[in-house]
Amino acid sequence: MKFTTIFLSAAKTGIKLAELPRIATNKTVYDRFMRLPVDENISLLTYVWIDGTGEFLRSKTRTHYNIPKTVEELPSWNYDGSSTYQAEGSNSDTYLSPVAIYKDPFLQGNNRLVLCDTYKHNKNPAGTNHRASCLDAMTKVKDQIPWFGMEQEYTILDRDMHPFGWPKNGCPEPQGPYYCGVGATKVFARDVVESHYRACLYAGLNICGTNAEVMPAQWEYQIGPSEGISMGDELWISRYILHRVAEEYGVVISLDPKPIPGDWNGAGCHVNFSTKAMRDENGIVEIEKAIERLSHHHMRHIKAYDPKEGKDNERRLTGKHETSSISDFSAGVANRGSSIRIPRSVADERKGYFEDRRPSSNCDPYRVTDVMVRTTLLGE
């Protein structure tokens, strides 16, 4: 068993992550401070944004002297973009523009999470701000009422970057017993999963399910159906909540699409898509039309489906482990080895939605839903 991939990512940070010890602070003391009364009109706003990697999130918090109801009433803010791979040190101010507001499951009460997109000093979208283009596409197709559902797979790691619950000097029994498994030798860290689920519900997200995955320590949750731009917003904030919940438990969330090389399933982020016409009687005709259009733009989609223009997905889309090959486009009913799958129930009812299985677990949902709409509905 090799851990090449995870050690590579550790090497990139320049820290010997394998040597990070297990740490724990005192949560009872924390609770005592958190019970200190504060002015009831104060709200702590945690602004959350995507950094220059296009993959990782950052956040910082400010005091707001009333309780906000809408995102429109929130001030813009800024941060040091030179510390997030988003600007030069000499011209580092980068702007945060609030786009969505959620109840904060960590601080609770009056406090809020504020999802933001990012703008350069000249007010153009920052390089990894793909929301601006996505919003443009969603506005153009608003009348078709596009719905998305995304299935976020992820792997729980220990702070030494080994999969959580795996033997430290090897690997568990081969895949088979773990998917939707029950019991202490089958699934690891269900408490992280359930805490995250509840925190997402508290925040007001459309989280619709969860399951243990084929590789042990790998899990999935689903968000949706969500309309238009809110798909990207909800998935990003659900990832933020996931990283924060894991932080509380002293474990790490990896969205790497193939965290363990070899005979272990990778992690994807399937996107399910429908329009009103697809959901109506005989919508299968519209579904087939969309798939036909997708078949002409395979590489364009592969480039949009991970943060490295397809490089990350090369390790995952091998044609094995319930994936299609990265170089071919394919579609089929109930086929989990194809790029596009039409669920059996949709084929039977001749209406509903279809699934694109290609997006990587670390994809940017704004890019995924943007290109989906541009190819299938806008004919671009």
Give me the residues that bind Mn ion (CB under 5 A), please.
151, 220, 270
Shortest distance in whole angstroms from residue 153 CB to Mn ion: 5
Q: Which residue in 81, 268, 283, 352 binds ligand ADP (CB under 6 A)?
A: 352
Rule CB under 6 A: say whether 197 interacts with ligand ADP: no
Determine the straight-line distance between the first and last CA of the chain, rounded to whole angstroms.
Answer: 45
Shortest distance in whole angstroms from residue 248 CB to ligand ADP: 26
Contact yes or no for 161/185 (Cβ under 8 A): no
Alpha helices by DSSP H, listed for the chain, are: 4-13, 27-34, 131-140, 190-203, 230-249, 276-279, 284-295, 298-304, 311-314, 344-349, 365-376
Structure tokens at 116: 């933001």
Side-chain-facing half-sphere of 111: CA atoms under 13 Å: 17
Shortest distance in whole angstroms from residue 179 CB to Mn ion: 8
Rule CB under 6 A: say whether 338 interacts with ligand ADP: no
Q: Assign residue 63 a region (left: φ > 0; alpha: ψ between -120 and 50; beta: otherwise).
A: beta
Residues 138-177 that bind ligand ADP (CB under 6 A): 147-151
- Of 17 and 199, nearer to ligand ADP (C-beta) is 199
- Pairing between strand 147-157 and 93-103? unpaired
CA dist list (Å): 351 to 274, 275, 281, 325:
9, 10, 6, 27
Rule CB under 6 A: say whether 274 interacts with ligand ADP: yes
Shortest distance in whole angstroms from residue 219 CB to ligand ADP: 12
* Residue closest to ligand ADP when measured from CB atoms: 149
Rule CB under 6 A: say whether 97 interacts with ligand ADP: no
Rule CB under 6 A: say whether 225 interacts with ligand ADP: yes
- Of 263 and 322, nearer to Mn ion (C-beta) is 322
Contact residues toward ligand ADP (CB under 6 A) are: 147-151, 208-209, 222, 224-225, 270, 272-274, 279, 352-353, 355
